[in-house]
Chain A
């Protein structure tokens, strides 16, 4: 076999650098790609959010038109959830999970790259709507009939349907990949109940992705067939039913909420336990709670539809099922608190974000329980109360958690420490701005302000709180800007982060160099317990015990095919809107790439043990 093995060709200069990134199948580089792409879309979504808040700063403001406003809210929601939050979650999963389980890569490195490029081109397609001047405007929930051609005849919603469909394929591939990775590639001794909490959360999130995204696929297909081929799924006059869309969308949409928040739970568990110098309190309960949340997450979707008119039996059942989720979530919160109890808490920027997460998320959680009560929800539903609630969970929960994770694992991803002072500064701007922005929104809703309104009349008691909310949004923007400044400053500094830069690292990733070498582990480690690296440190060991002799390390070859397949999907997306010939061409490109991938076996290449340094060189 050695005859087939070859070293990776690296070309010099910018084009070589670019080629390296376009063809990489290394999970660490794909993690960085996800982070950069997710960060980019986060900036788009953030600008959209800021414009929304500036428009709502004063009553009857006419900064932006009503049409533009609806485009902004639609694109803000869609971008933030599918193109910013999801990819940053995948960034952390890629960067961390294989390291935490002692693996050299994910189960399917090629599919990993394919997942990224399909997500990226789907997101690009969706955002090109702005350049084409036909922007989705029916809300991120895209309820028909507003989203059908009868009421939205331009191509805007087509961009939504096709962009999300393509991005969704990428997400599904990622979910399958991480499930297979975690099941099959754990190092010897890394039993399921020794897996770090973030890996557990990633595992459960991946399972949720695998079982929830296909529902969205079908919903989007139905919507696409209605819009492009004249099908009648949501055409009431031809026997269609608009409530079917709501069911399908939320059958996906509610698990999606847990797809988003579980990884944040995982991050918080890691960060808090590291910076408290204590093992996670009630580890097995935490695992069980995570599984329970995911399980219940599939049977509560209709709480988004209490006012749709499903009847009292459905409303009562979904009310109670939703309330039940509070129990495992509460268990997690108290376990975090008691992880810190008796610990030795160090206030790094990462830990500030993690600590800030707890009360913020609890506030989002309790308003969630309030919303679970259907009769009261008749009042909250589609009001600013809901806007306040879900921003508390998704921004106050997920984004805060992701920022904690980014600060925490930055040295492992890039070999450099983010500046602590700037990190703390960004935290305070961010967290104060956040609460100013969203706390008052609960009251706006209770005072009678519906959500998704482009403006509001004066003299309704809304003015002051809207102004406060906008000021908060500006502070948050400052916080995020400080974070980006921190990133820029840090990347100009030399790479000298230690293996275990926080000194209290507990899990396997902290036992190897920062950034991790191409092959992650020179020798696959033997795992002797929970928090394997901490255990070795406590027993005075400087390295992990190896589970295999030193030998040549087999690596998968880079490939440009995932990128080309992404382009194929992109072309077919445009084709479905403007010319079906191109839709076919795009799909043929994808199929040909699949065939090529199948026909030409990837023999990979080997890194010899005596050249470990060479593998470390990131281009």
Chain B
């Protein structure tokens, strides 16, 4: 039931679900993501309410550069895939492979974040600042919240990598890998919505 039962023996096939603590963590995290869904849903509604409240600032169709955001989308989608590879490696108990894929994941996350910072900087130069209009406030709040989540994910997965290097893959560390991977998929899915609702619909 608790951690010590599995300590001595070999790692079970799904080490993240081997302990009650692990199962609690995964369930609790799914519930947290339910709350996050409402959070982003509300941010999306606010954004949609203010899509056309541009005032004197640049309009979305003038502002957004689809090639750039498309690259960002690809980068983040690939990072989601590498995060799946990491969890698969964990299920095969290949700690080294797992760490490698996790490292690739956060590297891609960092690239995404870098592109986003570059993008925001460009917008600001074009007169699309946080305080320009209701549209700009809602845009930066929605996309910025997502970016903040990516940044947190990078720190988190980085911390998990360090822990695994020190403690190895155990029934205690496995749920951390698994849960951070779910989190990473979630922010990826949110980005897909942002790409569709903000960027693609902004171009229409």
Contacts and interface: CB of A to CB of B under 8 A. Distances in A.
A184 B167 CA distance: 27
A369 interface: no
A231 B131 contact: yes
A222 interface: yes
Interface string B140-180: 01000000000000010001100100010000100010000
B134 A233 contact: yes
Given A218-B43, A233-B46, A235-B134, A177 B28 contact: yes
Contacts of B189: none
Contacts of B23: 184
Given A184-B24, A241-B134, A179 B163 contact: no
A406 B138 CA distance: 45
B42 interface: yes
Interface in B26-57: 27-28, 31-32, 34-36, 38-39, 42-43, 45-46, 49-50, 53-55
Most chain A CB within 10 A, of B7, B36, B39, B160, is at B39
Given A176-B31, A215-B38, A1 B134 contact: no
B137 A183 contact: no
A492 interface: no
Given A184-B23, A221-B141, 16 more contacts: A1-B3, A214-B36, A222-B46, A222-B141, A225-B141, A226-B137, A229-B131, A231-B137, A232-B133, A232-B134, A238-B55, A238-B131, A239-B134, A247-B45, A251-B42, A601-B167
A240 B42 contact: no
B195 interface: no
Contacts of A235: 134
Most chain A CB within 10 A, of B4, B39, B137, B176, is at B137
B130 interface: yes
B117 interface: no
A176 B32 contact: yes
A108 B130 contact: no
A213 B132 CA distance: 29
Interface string B105-120: 0000000000000000
Contact of A107 (B24, B34, B35): B24
B159 A598 contact: yes
A230 interface: yes
Contacts of A175: 35
A554 B55 CA distance: 61
B109 to A, nearest CB: 17
A172 interface: yes
Interface of A: 1-2, 107-108, 111, 172, 175-177, 179-180, 183-185, 210-215, 217-219, 221-222, 225-226, 229-233, 235, 238-241, 244, 247-248, 251, 554, 591, 595, 598-599, 601, 603-604
A185 B155 CA distance: 31
Most chain A CB within 10 A, of B45, B46, B50, B53, is at B46
A108 B24 contact: yes
Contacts of B191: none
Most chain A CB within 10 A, of B20, B54, B131, B176, is at B131
A210 B34 contact: yes
Nearest to B8: A1
B183 interface: no
B79 to A, nearest CB: 21
Nearest to B32: A176
Given A231-B131, A238-B134, A595-B159, A214 B46 contact: no
26 contacts: A108-B28, A180-B24, A210-B31, A212-B38, A214-B35, A214-B36, A215-B42, A217-B39, A218-B43, A218-B46, A222-B46, A225-B130, A225-B137, A226-B137, A229-B131, A231-B130, A232-B131, A233-B137, A233-B141, A238-B134, A240-B134, A248-B42, A251-B42, A554-B2, A595-B159, A599-B163
